[in-house]
Chains A and B, each alone.
Chain A
Amino acid sequence: MYSRTYKTIVAAPPLLWVGLFLLLPYTLMFAHSFWAVQDGTLVHHWNLANYQKLFTNPLYAGVLFRTMRIAASVTLCSLLLGYPLAYYLSFHSGTRKELLYQLVIVPLWVSYLVRGYAWKTILGSDGVLNGFLQYFHFTHAPVGFLLYSPFAVVLMLTHIYTPFVFLPIYASIEHIPRSLVEASQDLGAGPAPTFFRVILPLSMPGLLAGATFAFVLSLGDFLAPLLVGGSSGTMIANIVQTLFGASYDWPLGAAISVCILVITLSLLFLTERLEKRWSFK
Chain B
Amino acid sequence: MRGTSPTRRAPLLAIYATLVFAFIYLPIVVLILYSFNRDGVGGFPPRQLTLDWYRQLFADGPLWDSVLNSLLVACGAVALSLALGLLAALALDRASFPGKALFRRLVLLPLILPGIITGLSLLMFVVFAGMQLSLLTVFLGHGTALISVATTEIFAGLQKLDRAQEEASLDLGATPWRTFWRITLPNLRLSLIAAGLLIFTLSMDEIAVTFFLLGRDNTLPLEIWARLRRGITPEINAISTLIFAVSVALIIVWYRIRMRSVGSGAQQLLERP
Contact = CB atoms under 8 A, between A and B. Distances in A.
| Direct A–B contact in complex, judged by CB atoms less than 8 Å apart | yes
A69 interface: no
B42 interface: yes
A126 B42 contact: yes
Given A25-B124, A93-B7, A7 B27 contact: no
Contacts of A113: 205, 207, 221, 224-225, 228, 240
A264 B1 CA distance: 55
Contact of A241 (B90, B116, B118, B170): B116
B121 A29 contact: yes
Nearest to A126: B42
B68 interface: no
Chain A interface residue bracket vs B? 35 or more
A269 B91 CA distance: 24
A140 B77 CA distance: 51
Given A14-B84, A121-B232, A25 B121 contact: yes
Interface residues of B, number: 90
Contacts of A22: 106-107, 109-110, 144
Contacts of B252: 102
The residue in A112, A113, A212 that gathers the most chain B C-beta atoms within 10 A of its C-beta is: A113
Contacts of A264: 112-114, 117
B62 to A, nearest CB: 17
Nearest to B141: A21
Interface in B237-259: 237, 240, 243-244, 247-248, 250-252, 255
B88 interface: yes
A17 B30 CA distance: 43
19 contacts: A2-B176, A6-B95, A9-B87, A10-B91, A17-B147, A18-B147, A21-B144, A24-B125, A97-B266, A104-B24, A108-B251, A117-B224, A117-B236, A128-B42, A135-B45, A163-B24, A178-B6, A240-B120, A253-B120
Interface of A: 1-3, 6-11, 13-15, 17-18, 21-26, 28-29, 32, 81-82, 84-85, 87-89, 91-95, 97-98, 102-115, 117-122, 124, 126-128, 130-132, 134-135, 159, 162-163, 174, 178, 212-213, 216-217, 219-223, 227, 237, 240-241, 244, 250, 253-254, 257, 260-261, 264, 268
Interface of B: 5-10, 13-14, 16-17, 20-21, 23-28, 30-31, 34, 41-45, 83-85, 87-88, 90-91, 94-95, 97, 103, 106-107, 109-110, 112-118, 120-125, 128, 140, 144, 147, 166-167, 170, 176, 201, 204-205, 207-208, 211-212, 221, 224-225, 228, 232, 236-237, 240, 243-244, 247-248, 250-252, 255, 264-266, 268-269
